[in-house]
Amino acid sequence: MTAALNDLRGKLAVYLEPAEVDRIEAAYHFGAAAHDGQFRSSGEPYISHPLAVASTLSDWRLDAQALMAALLHDVMEDTAISKQEIAERFGKPTAELVDAVSKIGRLEGQSYEEAQAENFRKMLLAMARDVRVILIKLADRLHNIQTLGTFRPDKRRRVARETLDIYAPIANRLGLNTLSRDLQELSFQNAQPMRYRVLEKALRNARGNRREGVSRITETLRRQLPLMGIEAEVMGREKHIYSIYRKMREKHLTFSQVFDIYGFRILVKDQPSCYLALGALHSIYKPVPGKFKDYIAIPKANGYQSLHTTLIGPYGTPVEIQIRTHEMHHIAESGVASHWLYKDEQTLGEFQQKTHKWLQSLLELQSTSGTSSEFLEHVKVDLFPGEVFVFTPQGKIIGLPRGATAVDFAYAVHTDIGNRCVACRINGEPKPLRTELRNGDQVEIICAAHANPNPGWLSYVKSSRARSQIRHFLKSRQSDESADLGAHLLAQSLQGFGLGLEAIDEATWERFMRGSGTQSKKDVLTDIGLGKRLPAIVARRLASEHESAAGMDELPAEKRKPLGPIIIHGGEGVVVQLAKCCRPLPGDPIIGIVRKGQGLTVHTSDCRSIGHARHESDNWIEVEWDPASSGSYETSVRIVAENRRGALARMTAAIAAADSDILNLQIDADPDVCTTLQFTLLVNSRVHLARIMRSLRHLPEVVRISRTRD
């Protein structure tokens, strides 16, 4: 341990004051005493782990507070040392960092996945406040995965999978590309050891076959670039095994089909030289069309900048080349750690702003996510972005995940624009909101003041911001609507006991909630609206509490008031739903059923799909249409028609003349007999539908017409 400590002191002496180095050594001795008698699974003293974490951080030249926290990062979790004691000895900032990286104790009945999600949420939120938290955690994970060899295979696979899913993507998102590659490589080695060994052997064999080609390209570039007036450093590099494996899996290739195992990196003095070098390379070797990417003009989300091009090498094999400046190289390899490594470089400003913006977005995700698991799901989506860059009408660049739609774009611009968007124009042409965006698209969002997010958007949005904001809006709206519906249902049930909802005082509600384990009156009403509680049972308990408090006897059944029906207006929202199976229209006889977690669903009285549920009498609710109900409703009409020229045109004209829109049309044609057409229409009532069907029935080619159900 003495040699490792001396090595750490040597690294620290290069950039820290002697007094700070002494404080860090004091933290080491404090941690060693706290962990005395504790050993890692390898048999080494436990303090060897915090020492290795601190050594990694010293390579990034982190400050004294972070290094002391690294040496003490497990004392709160694994020993009796308190946060207060650390604060008194080493300062409050160090204690805060130690607390941030300490795991939360697993609660009774909580699954491993739930506990891990809660720990990730704590870590990521702490990271948003202080990026040093995640740097300590990443260094901790690096040493843990380097020393996994003594663990059981199942634990090795679990830790490796967790690293590939969370820690390596976070390192990549923060621009720590070297660390991200190391974590991926070690995780792949532990998660799938057989595949790793096979690919490692294949790569070893390929080195001999391709060594001559690599040497020839390197010599050519080193000789030709200076002749063209370009000072450049040329480096050959071999792709990592995990990177090769991922390419084979994504593109369904065999190892022999992966040609770009070797690549080249060219470092030049400034940005103009990057483009000069690109032109020079294209004059030496022919470029592969469509394989050029300019990450200098439009950097990646993690601040990465380079020119990428693929050339046809001397033996006809493709060769990938990256061109960047020395400063870009520092950021590409060290990312957010460049803040400590290269404090004097002006080029870090924009990168730091991007990182800060992403970290702040985590706080926004947290505020709109219900559970830790949901928050982690949103973060995972954000950690695997593609590279789609689109433009606002004003020319501002917006980066989005690959596969993102116009809805993702709207939420990226502003939450209110996302919530109110109704249509879009892409490159000046009207397009559906679900249209997938491509690099270089110019997107304009059209908003309406009274528009709201559509639950269907969740099936195609790609960005975590859009997904979390849509869910947050729908949950808030559903909660309010559920509470309103619950109040309506409860009021109806209380009528049977001769009470109005206003007659139930706060004291009665308090007694009910204590007995039922709920937190608030709104929670009870929301549960009723969502079908999680039966209004009749809640009404009976409330009436009983009310009557006992007032010294009254329960109202006899014959004196209870009959329950009135719930009035359906047609625009209730996400809690009151019109059934898709029978598509009820205003004017249809209807009935409602309350199901757990689904709220109230309205069916036509003759709907065949509800026959099996007739025995659930407690769940059935009497409902009626509001005579003044308005709005548009989907319905389907089936037409059997003779095959005549212009028949379809006459049908669509008749539908349009009756003030209806056609949403969909399916045609099953038989050229020898008749054609069957299935129209999905928008109508405002049963009477409106009857008028449409009457006008269609008068057409000479129509043989038969009927309203259809799913």
Gap between the Cα atoms of 648 and 670, Å rounded: 15
- Choosing from 77, 182, 238, 333, the catalytic residue is 77
DSSP 678: E
Count CA atoms closer than 13 A to 21's CA, side-chain side.
16
The partner residues of 635 in beta bridges, in order of sequence, read: 681
Strand 443-447, strand 421-426: pairing: antiparallel
Residue 146, phi then psi, degrees to nearest 5: -70, -20
Handedness of CA 643, 644, 645, 647 (dihedral sign): negative
The partner residues of 634 in beta bridges, in order of sequence, read: 682
**3-state class of 16 per DSSP?**
coil
Distance of CA 646 to the CA centre of its chain: 50
Question: Hey, what are 564's tokens?
Answer: 């009135």
Contacts 24+ apart (CB under 8 A), 364-369: 364/465, 364/468, 365/464, 365/465, 365/468, 366/121, 366/125, 368/468, 368/469, 368/471, 368/472, 369/468, 369/471, 369/472
Is there a contact between 372 and 120 (Cβ–Cβ < 8 Å)? yes
Residue 16, phi then psi, degrees to nearest 5: -115, 160
Gap between the Cα atoms of 98 and 80, Å rounded: 14
Q: Is 78 annotated as catalytic?
A: yes
**3-state class of 325 per DSSP?**
strand
Question: Hey, what are 98's tokens?
Answer: 């130690």
> How many residues does the structure list for the chain?
710
Is there a contact between 460 and 443 (Cβ–Cβ < 8 Å)? no
Alpha helices in 454-600 (DSSP H): 464-495, 506-516, 521-529, 535-550
Which residue has 């469509």 as its token pair?
Answer: 290
Question: Hey, what are 482's tokens?
Answer: 């559920």
Which residue has 């089936």 as its token pair?
Answer: 638
Which residue has 């406040």 as its token pair?
Answer: 129
The residue among 182, 237, 186, 187 whose CA lies nearest residue 59 is 182
Is there a contact between 146 and 124 (Cβ–Cβ < 8 Å)? no
Gap between the Cα atoms of 547 and 554, Å rounded: 7
DSSP 267: E
CB-based contacts of 217, cutoff 8 Å, min separation 6: 236, 264, 313, 314, 319
CB-based contacts of 89, cutoff 8 Å, min separation 6: 30
Which residue has 């008031």 as its token pair?
Answer: 561
Is there a contact between 544 and 530 (Cβ–Cβ < 8 Å)? no
- Choosing from 22, 63, 78, 345, the catalytic residue is 78
**3-state class of 109 per DSSP?**
coil
Q: Is 416 annotated as catalytic?
A: no
Taking the chain, what is the end-to-end CA distance rounded to the nearest angstrom? 74
The partner residues of 259 in beta bridges, in order of sequence, read: none
Burial class (CB in 10 A: 0-12, 13-18, 19+), 127: buried
Is there a contact between 563 and 497 (Cβ–Cβ < 8 Å)? no
The DSSP code sequence of 389-448 is EEE-TT--EEEE-TT-BHHHHHHHH-HHHHHHEEEEEETTEEE-TTPBP-TT-BEEEEE-
Element (H, E) at 690: helix 686-697
From residue 669, alpha-carbon distances to 407, 453, 638, 648 in Å are 37, 38, 13, 12
Give catalytic residue positions. Answer: 77-78
